[in-house]
Amino acid sequence: MKKGGRGGSATQKAGEAFENKTLENLLASFQKNGFVVDSILKGGQNPRALFLKNEAGKLVDIFLQAAVHTHFFKPRGINSDDYFSAKLRPDTAIFSHSANTLTIIEKKQQTGAGSVAEKLQTCDYKMQYYTTLCKPIGVRVDLIWQLGQYFVDNKIALRSVFEYMKSKGSRHFFLEVPFEALHI
């Protein structure tokens, strides 16, 4: 945090509120499309993973942050420490059994100019990271950035960043990720 400036805890609070609201909206979107929560894996009071299904038999697993490592990669014999020096913790990871796709959703929200916008430029590393882990198990990776109101308001100024992200194979959506955009 800059001395006397904004950022740090204010940015964290804005980001946390955005992450919680978008998770609620994601679950509501799944429910609207016929999915029900089959089971929940909790860590303390908070969910770490949610397992959904629909009447057609489609299964979807949703992992929050580090749970993708312990409950998706590890049971499949993938230890990220064997590949990378640090574990990335996605905001949300969605595994569709029928599409055999792991969709990583990185959520970014900020209240003013700052370094969060620069984090969008890490898209190529994040794509390489998850693709490397998924390749041995034959799972496809989709990287989506879910961006808050700051990015809506500054989309013209950030257009070169968005073009770069697209060139590296990641997509972005403002405020909500449409259900139809997910590989389910």
- Domain assignment present for 88: yes
Total domains in the chain come to 1
Q: What is residue 3's predicted lDDT score, i.e. its pLDDT?
A: 42
Q: What is residue 1's predicted lDDT score, i.e. its pLDDT?
A: 37
In order of 9, 28, 47, 77, 80, the CA distances from 133 in angstroms are: 32, 29, 23, 10, 7
Domain that holds residue 138: 33-181
- Domain assignment present for 8: no
- Domain assignment present for 18: no
pTM of the model: 0.89
- Domain assignment present for 14: no
- DSSP-derived secondary structure letter, 152: H
- Domain assignment present for 108: yes
- Domain assignment present for 2: no
Residues 114-120: contacts with CB within 8 Å, 24+ apart? 114/6, 114/7, 114/11, 115/7, 116/11, 116/15, 116/150, 117/150, 117/151, 117/154, 117/158, 117/161, 120/145, 120/158, 120/161, 120/162, 120/165, 120/172
Q: What is residue 2's predicted lDDT score, i.e. its pLDDT?
A: 42
- Domain assignment present for 166: yes
Q: What is residue 5's predicted lDDT score, i.e. its pLDDT?
A: 45
- Domain assignment present for 16: no
For the chain, 184 residues long, give each residue's pLDDT as a single digit of tens: 344 445 555 555 556 788 889 999 999 999 999 999 999 998 877 789 999 999 999 999 999 999 999 999 999 999 999 999 999 999 999 999 999 999 999 999 887 766 667 889 999 999 999 999 999 999 999 999 999 999 999 999 999 999 999 999 999 999 999 999 999 9
